[in-house]
Structure 1
Amino acid sequence: MSMADKVGPFQPTNDFWNALGWQPLPEQLEQFKLLQALLEDWNKHVNLTRLVSGHDFWVNQIFDSLWPLQRLLNQPQTLKCIDVGTGGGFPGLAVAIALPNISMTLVDSIGRKTKAVTSIVKDLGISHRVSLRTERIEKTGQNHNYRSRFDLAMARAVAITPTVAEYLLPLLSRSGEALLYRGQCSDVDTHELNLALQLLGGRIRRLDHCKLLGNRGVRHAITIEQCIPCPDIYPRLTGLPTKEPLGSVNDRSEV
């Protein structure tokens, strides 16, 4: 019995994939199953994610990672992507499996997680196009090898929207987009994000929402485009984007 055969009883049906508007190739489905098995195995040693079994994995990890990218799923492109604060590998690993033409950089500051995910990437057979960085994103964003290099920068469950925007926008190429995965997204969230984007040189291109299968709540996705090059001062020094987020009351006088 292979590792991929040891996963839980739930398996995605055609209805699952129809709700996503995309059907994986057989080899992609096997990679998703193997990813689940590898996560379950690694979770015995490292706390990567609690969402590894049944619906938790397929709905809250795979479906939630992919639903904002339906257009790319059905019109594959060659893209350079980065997942900031990847943790146990999401959304980056799910996106990398679903979009075999992309390259993906996964960034996280916790070494034990990046070590585990590096091993998972190797076992999935995608290490030729998926790389890991163990680093604070503030440093990555000021590194000339990564700044202004990516077509798509994404982050899920990392921080409030102005902070995530400050992490992602410096990474974008001139025509690139940032994708912010959110649970709730209030008017206050978008207002403060818009204030931050005036400083970062971007604007909201699209705000989408989706009701997850199995009554697992509503998810939002904010797509941001770069209008002008992000000023060199962003991202600020390590910790500042979290401690003093752009778009906060203290920053509004600057906008």
Structure 2
Amino acid sequence: MTIIAERFQKIMEIAPSQETAQLLQLLSDDYLDLPRAISSQQYIWQHKDLGFLGLKWAQGDMQRSFLEHEAQFIRARQHPVFPEFVDIKHHGKTSVLITRWFEGVSLAQLSKEKRAITFDWLALLEQSLVYCHQHGFNHGDIKPANILIGKDQVKLINFNNVIKHGECYQQQALHQNSGFASLEALSAEGVAKPQQDWYSLAVTLIASQQTHPAYMANQARFDTNSNACVPTKYLQIIRQEYKRVLKHA
């Protein structure tokens, strides 16, 4: 067996499909060793010149369109808190988005492990949201799994749901998480507005403190004493949304 054939065989063992393995094989000359799977859709791989990179793959027309959507956004709008775009590659019906690797732990994982969570990174995350909104877009999928906390840094990831302000949710084939998305996004009614991202961030911060509210939960759940670590302005966002929902119920 040749070295190339042997490498392809090893890649096949970790790739989710033959087409993905073929794409990884085409890239392999620029990388060291083998890619390492870190989730069902992502690899980490050491590039010969660029160091460790993250590779996020998608298959099928819809998933590839989401990935291309994300790639276009982060390629055009670089921010220290956003993933750093490197490239996007295609092979058959498989695409791979390549970004600089960020060593961090998701807010969801920190919360699951019941580790102490401080919000010293929150100002940076807020700045990135303001930047996103100033360019006329909502991130559209803010939740604990999409916030990575590293040493003196934070990353907001997964921009496949990014949506322009003023666009109707009904026209967007987006994936929404019922625990964190705004009511407009969940119901596919209304248009995208910045306050919907801020609402999702508010719910995310509360969720990280193990006090995740349901949309119609009692207002007592949002008491500032029981969520002392969460900045008051975010508790106020939750209360305002709760009142708005009751008003239109």
TM-score range, shorter chain: 0.3 to 0.5
TM-score, normalisation: structure 1? 0.36
Q: Which fold has the larger relative contact order, with Cα–Cα distance below 8 Å and residues 6 or more apart in sequence? A: 1
